[in-house]
Structure 1
C-alpha cells in the first residue's frame, strides 16, 4: 500500500470524532468517550500542524498525531478507521507513519503511550522496535487507566 499524509481538515476531524466507533473494549478509543480529548481533537488550533489524515489512494484509512515534547523527542498517536482494525494492517500503517515522522520532523527519539489492555497494538509496537519504558496512570474517559509509555529504538 502507498500511504499519503496530509494535515487534517475540520471536516475530517468531525468525521473521525463522530462516526468512527470501535467494537468491544476498543470503544475506549472512540473520540466521544472523553469530552476533553474530543474538544482538543475538534479544535483547529490544537490540531494545527500536529494531526494528519492518512490516505491509501483516495481513501481515508487513519490518522497520525505528532507532538514535539522536547528539542528532539516526538510523541505520536495513531488510529485506524475501525473497519481496518484487526486485519493485520497495523504494522504496515505504523511503518509508514514512522517513515513520515522521521522524514518530516527528524526526531532523535519517538515515543507513544498505549492503554495496557490493548495487547493487539502493543504487539505491533514491539514488533516494529518500540521498547517498553514505564507504566503510568492517566485520567481519561471518566476513569483512571493504566498506560504504557514506549520508545522507538530502531532508527535507520
Structure 2
C-alpha cells in the first residue's frame, strides 16, 4: 500500500474528529473523548502546517502530527483509520510515516508517546526500531493515564534518501 502525505485539510480534520470512532479500550483515542484535544485538532490555526493527512488510493487512512522540539528531534503523533487497525497493516503504516519524516525533516532522533495500555501499538513501534525511554502521567479524557515515551535513533544508514 502506497501512502501519500499532504497538509491536513479542515474537512479531513472534521472527518477524523467526528466520524473516526474506536472500539473498547481504544475509544480512548476518539478525539471527542477530550474537549481540549478536539478543539486543538479541529482548529486550523493551531494545526498549522504540522499535521498531515495520510492517504492511499485517494482514501484518508490516517494522520501524523509533527513537532520539532529541537533541531535534531522530530516528535510524532499519529492515528490510523479505525477500520484499518488490528489487521496487521500497522507496521507498513508506521514505516511510511518514518520514511516521510526522514525525507522531509532529516532528524537524528524520532520520538513519540503512546498510552501504556496500547500494547498493540507499542509492539508495532518496537518492530519499527523504537525503544522505550521512560514514562509519564498525563491528565486527559477525564482522568490521568500512563504514557510510554519511545525513541528511534536515526543513523546515516537509516536515512532513506
Q: Shorter-chain-normalised TM-score: which range? A: over 0.9
Task: Write the distance in 1 (CA, Å) between the matches of 2:141 and 2:152.
Answer: 27
Match of 2:75 in 1: 75
Task: Write the distance in 1 (CA, Å) between the matches of 2:43 and 2:87.
Answer: 31
Task: Write the distance in 1 (CA, Å) between the matches of 2:154 and 2:89.
Answer: 20
**Alpha-carbon contact 1:52-1:63 (below 8 Å) kept:** yes
Match of 2:145 in 1: 145
The answer to whether residue 6 in structure 2 is matched with residue 19 in structure 1 is no
- Give the aligned length: 156
List gaps (5 residues or longer) in structure 2.
none
Once the two structures are TM-superposed, the CA of residue 69 in structure 1 deviates from its matched residue by 0.9
Match of 1:46 in 2: 46
Once the two structures are TM-superposed, the CA of residue 106 in structure 1 deviates from its matched residue by 1.1
- Report the 3-state secondary structure (helix = DSSP H, G, I; strand = E; otherwise coil) of the residue aligned with 1:22: coil
Task: Write the distance in 1 (CA, Å) between the matches of 2:74 and 2:21.
Answer: 27
**For residues 31-67 of structure 1, what are the alpha-carbon distances to aligned partners after superposition, in whole Å with 9 as ceiling and x for unaligned?**
0011111111011111111100001111111111111
Once the two structures are TM-superposed, the CA of residue 154 in structure 1 deviates from its matched residue by 5.0
Match of 1:97 in 2: 97
- Report the 3-state secondary structure (helix = DSSP H, G, I; strand = E; otherwise coil) of the residue aligned with 2:103: helix
Over 4 Å off, 4+ runs: none
Task: Write the distance in 2 (CA, Å) between the matches of 1:68 and 1:141.
Answer: 25
Match of 1:115 in 2: 115
TM-score (norm 2): 0.95
Task: Write the distance in 2 (CA, Å) between the matches of 1:134 and 1:86.
Answer: 25
TM-score (norm 1): 0.98
**Alpha-carbon contact 2:65-2:76 (below 8 Å) kept:** yes
Task: Write the distance in 2 (CA, Å) between the matches of 1:100 and 1:81.
Answer: 18
Task: Write the distance in 1 (CA, Å) between the matches of 2:96 and 2:106.
Answer: 15
**For residues 81-108 of structure 1, what are the alpha-carbon distances to aligned partners after superposition, in whole Å with 9 as ceiling and x for unaligned?**
0000001000000000000001001111
List gaps (5 residues or longer) in structure 1.
none
